[in-house]
Structure 1
C-alpha cells in the first residue's frame, strides 16, 4: 500500500480507503462484511470511511463496524483511521439533520456507541448548512476535538466560499481541518473546475475523493446495457436518465483506452485519480472481496503518458 500525507499534518492515509456507504448495512451479511473489512486491513487499507446514516438502514453500517471492532479489530485500534460524519437526514424531527450544534453533538455520541469507539480519528461536517450560522457548526467541530471525541475534523461537499471560511475559522481556533472530502471522478471534475483541490492544498488540508467510479458508470457494468441487479435498475441514487447515449459512447472509448493500458475501466479510473498530486486518498466501495481485490490492482499502474491524458481529455470534451 502507498501511504500519503494528509495535507500539512502527521497523518498518512492509504491511497485507497474503504467506504461503508453501501454493502455493510443490516440488509447485508455480517460474515461478508467481516471478510471485506479483514481483507482490506490485511492489504494495507487502514482508513475506513463511515457516516451516521450509512446502511441501509441508517446507522447500521456503523453497527456492523462496531461488531467487527469489538470482535476482531480492537487489538489494532491504533493502526486504524476511522471517520464518520453528520449533516444529512438521520432521524425525524428538527434536530435529525443539517449542521446545528445539537445535531452534530448528538449524532457523534450515537456513532461512537454504535462503533464501540471512544473517539473517531476524523469527524466531518457532511454538508454545508445554509440556514445554521457557519460559526455554530465550526465551533461545534472545535469543541468535539477539545472534548477528545475526535482527533481531527474535516468538511465534505462545502462550496468554495463556505470552505474558505471554514479553513480560516478552524485555523484561528487551533484545530486542524485535516481533510476535504468531495465527489471526484473522470466524469465529475468539480473539484478541479471550482478550485476546491487547490484551495484545500493551500490551507494545509488533504483531499479525499468519493464516488471515484461514478456509482458504477466507470466500470464495465453498463457497456452492454443495464443489468437487472445494477444500481440503475434498482432505482437508487443513480437514475436511468443518467446513462445517455452520448455518455455511453464516452465510457466505451475510455474502456478501449483502459484495455490498451492493460487495465479494466475501473482500474484506470481509480489510477487517474491517484495520479493527481493533490489527491490524498480515494474511497472505494465493495460488494465483495473480489471487487475490492480488483480495485487494489489500480495501484499497480498509476502513471499516464501525456498522450493518454490528452486522449482522456478529448474523449470527455
Structure 2
C-alpha cells in the first residue's frame, strides 16, 4: 500500500523558529535513540514513524550509535524513508550525530576530522540520504583541538552533506568556545542538544547556556524530557534501585523518596490542568521560546499520541509555574 501523508498534518503540532535562523522545527521531534532498531519489527517502527509525520512531527533525530547495535536505528529510519517518506524530503528535518563509539579502533569515536567525515558518510548511506539537515558533534572531545572539530563540521556543510551543524552535551563554556569559531567561519550553527527536564536543569539553565545560544542565532533542543520515564505516572509509588537512569539523571537515585515525593506533587499539578505528568513535563520545557524542540521517543502508537496531546494545553499560568518551582526546589 502506497503511503500518503495526512493533509492536515501541520495543524496538529506547533512549529518553532530556532532563534532567528531560517530553521523551523516542530515543538516535538521524534527521537530514535532507544525505541527503534534491529530488535523491533520494521512494520512496528514504520507505523510509529509515519504516524508521527501524520501528526505534524517532521523532525527525526538520530545518531551513528543509536539502536540496539550501532547504526541500526539509522538503518530502520532509512528503510522507512526509502519506502514511504522520500517524496516528502523537502518537508523533513533529519538530524544525526557522531562522537560516541561507532566502530572498532581509535578512530571510531570523538570528533576528529577523519572520524566525523566517515561517520556522516556512513549515516547518509544507512538513511538513503544525500544530506542531513543538522549534523551534530555528539559529545565534547577532550583530546582534539576545538578548531579542528569546528573546521571539520564546517567543511561537511560546504560539501553539501549537512545544511546546519550543532553540538550535543556541550557545557555553556564549551558551547561558547565553539560558537565563536563557527562565527569566524560563518558556519550555520543552530543548536546544542542537551539533557533537559524538570528534574535535571543545570546543563540547560546554568551559566547562561540559553542566552549564549540565543546570541549566536542558535537554540536548545532538549532530549530526555521525561527523565527515562520517571516523569510519568508509572513511578508515583516508587522506582526500583536498578532503574536505568541516564548519566545526567543519575543523582535522582541518591534520594528516591524525595524524587517520588516531587513526582506526586507534580502529578497533582498536572491533574488540575487535565494533563498527565508527562504532558505537564513537556509543556514546562516549551515555556521558553529558546527551547526549539523536545526530542522524545515512542515505541507504540498509543505512547506517541499520548505525548502529542501536550499540544492541547501548552500555556502555564504564573501561579502554576511558581507552584512547579516550589516543588522542584
Partners of 1:223 and 1:192 in 2: CA distance: 26
Worse-superposed segment, 233-242 or 67-76: 233-242
1:210 alignment counterpart:
223
> For 2:291, what is the secondary structure of its paired residue?
coil
For 1:58-73, list aligned pairs within 5 A.
Answer: 58-73=70-85
Following superposition, the deviation at residue 160 of structure 1 comes to: 1.8
1:197 alignment counterpart:
210
1:299 to 311, 316, 321: 311
1:27 to 26, 34, 39: 39
2:196 to 161, 184, 187: 184
CA contact (8 A) 1:183 1:211 kept: yes
Partners of 1:25 and 1:130 in 2: CA distance: 30
CA contact (8 A) 1:83 1:122 kept: yes
Following superposition, the deviation at residue 8 of structure 1 comes to: 2.2
Partners of 1:137 and 1:9 in 2: CA distance: 22
1:249 alignment counterpart:
261
Structure 1 residue runs of 4 or more that deviate by more than 2 Å after TM superposition: 224-227, 231-243
CA contact (8 A) 1:7 1:179 kept: no
Partners of 1:242 and 1:216 in 2: CA distance: 17
1:56 alignment counterpart:
68
Partners of 1:182 and 1:236 in 2: CA distance: 12
Deviations 1:253-276 (A, max 9, x none): 111111011100000000111111
CA RMSD of aligned residues (A): 1.7
* Count of equivalent residues: 314
1:95 to 95, 107, 110: 107
| Structure 1: gaps (5+ residues) | none
> For 1:311, what is the secondary structure of its paired residue?
helix
Partners of 2:312 and 2:246 in 1: CA distance: 32
CA contact (8 A) 2:81 2:127 kept: yes
Report the TM-score when normalising by structure 2.
0.92
| Structure 2: gaps (5+ residues) | 1-12
